Every structure is written in C-alpha cells, then in structure tokens.
Structure 1
Amino acid sequence: MANRTSNPPFLNGVPELLILRLLARRPMYGYELVQAIKLATGNELEFSEGCVYPILHRLEGDKLLTASELSVGARKRIVYQTTAAGRKRLEESTSTWKRISSAINLALGGAEHGTATVAR
C-alpha cells in the first residue's frame, strides 16, 4: 500500500456508513471504533477521533445512536450503539452504497462491461 496522508476526498458519507455498520454489530466506545474501522477495512481507511466523534455526536442527536457511560477501572467511557432508527438508516445507506458503487464499477469498466459509447 502506498503511503498517504489522508483518505481520498470522495469518501464523504463513508465514515457514517461504517460507524453504523460496526455499531450494529456491537456497542463500542469512540477510540475502539476508530481502531475497528481500520481493522475492518484492512488498513485502507483510517478516520481519526476528530472525524469519528463529531459523527457519533450528530448520530446520537439524530436518535440513530444511544450513548451510555461505562466505568472501566477509574476511567469512564461513552459506549455507543445503534437504535432501531439507526439500523433503518444503515439499511438505506447500504442499499444506496451498493447501487452507486455498482454504477461506478460499471462506468470504470467501460465498453468491456457492455456500456454503450456516446455518439458525437
């Protein structure tokens, strides 16, 4: 993998999709979620806590996540999990992602995948 300083700019919306997917599997706290995204994407995507926490707070405000405090030794962690509305958003976002990525793959494949050429 080539060295990169950040994720490609066309990934808008991807952090939310991944956060909802991972939290639908099991509750997690923020830093744990950052690491889970990295692991789940084979180290291809890496979103900082500065990216993840604002999304978590927005999703909680939109009632797509709930947050609860968990004591771990002397530390307190905020653990997030999806709500029914969050799981519904995940289904919708996943469906949209699959449709769009399929269309992009088709376009990137060009004529070899049966696309027509545009007459000039």
Structure 2
Amino acid sequence: MNYDKGLIAGSSALLVLSLLKEQERYGYELIKTLKDRSNDAFDFKEGTLYPILHKMENEGWIRSENKTVNGRTRRYYAITARGVKQLEVQQEQWSHFSSAVNQVLSFQGSGS
C-alpha cells in the first residue's frame, strides 16, 4: 500500500530513532530494517532517509562516524542521550495520537 507522504514524514524520525536505540546502523541497513520489519510498508529511498538523518544529527539526536568494517567504509549512525529523550517524547505523542485516531474511527454514534 502506498501511504500518504505526510503520514510517513510525521513518523520517520520516530521509526529511525527506535532502530538506532537498538544499535548503531548505517544508512542502507536502516532502509532494509524498516522495510523488513514493516512487511514492505516503509520502503524509504536514500533521497528520503539521508535528509532525515542530517536533520536529526543537526538537532543532536544522533551522531555519525565513518567506520571501516570488512574493508568497507560506511557512515554509521547512533542515537545520543538527547535522541533517547526525543524518542520517548515521540513515542508518547504517537501513543496518544494513534489512540485518539482509533477512538474517532471506531465511534459508533447515532450518525447524522
């Protein structure tokens, strides 16, 4: 299913921060993990992911560094203490927001 870009944009930082809280990852690894865990619902392109990562780095939510693993140099991203706090805020917001949306969608009022 193709999702509205606004829905994805509103949740992308939450998704990326949650993956980085587990472990540091490089860009393609983030893309693949999001796609795999969402059963292909979140199929980010590099042109979508990297601006998100740069914004989060500018906010101080993540840090990055180049590492060479098995002869291959990649840019790895890791969550910071500030990013963990931001993740907690976004998780709480998402929980309240999704609950409110579900309440509206499931309302069985008398209708008009």
Q: TM-score, normalised by structure 2?
A: 0.89
1:17 aligned to 2:14? yes
Asked if 1:92 corresponds to 2:89, the answer is: yes
Structure exhibiting the larger radius of gyration computed from Cα positions? 1
Where is the helix percentage greater, Structure 1 or Structure 2?
Answer: 2
SS in structure 2 opposite 1:7? coil
Per the TM alignment, residue 51 of structure 1 is displaced from its structure 2 partner at its CA by: 0.7
In the alignment, the residues of structure 2 paired with residue 117 and residue 92 of structure 1 have an alpha-carbon distance, to the nearest angstrom, of 36
What residue in structure 2 maps to residue 7 of structure 1?
3
Count of equivalent residues:
111
Structure 2: where are the runs of 5+ without partners?
none
Separation in 2, partners of 1:117, 1:70 = 60
Residue ranges of structure 1 left out of the alignment (5+ in a row): none
Q: CA RMSD in A?
A: 1.7
For normalisation by structure 1, the TM-score amounts to 0.84
Q: C-alpha deviations, 1:89-116, integer Å up to 9, x for none?
A: 00000000010000001101021xxxx5
- Is the Cα contact below 8 Å between 1:23 and 1:81 reproduced in 2? yes
Question: Shift in Å at residue 75 of structure 1?
Answer: 2.8
Distance 1:59 1:85 in 2: 10
Q: Secondary structure at the match of 1:80?
A: strand
Structure 1 runs, 4 residues or longer, greater than 3 Å off:
none
- 1:20-35 → structure 2 map (5 Å cutoff): 20-35=17-32
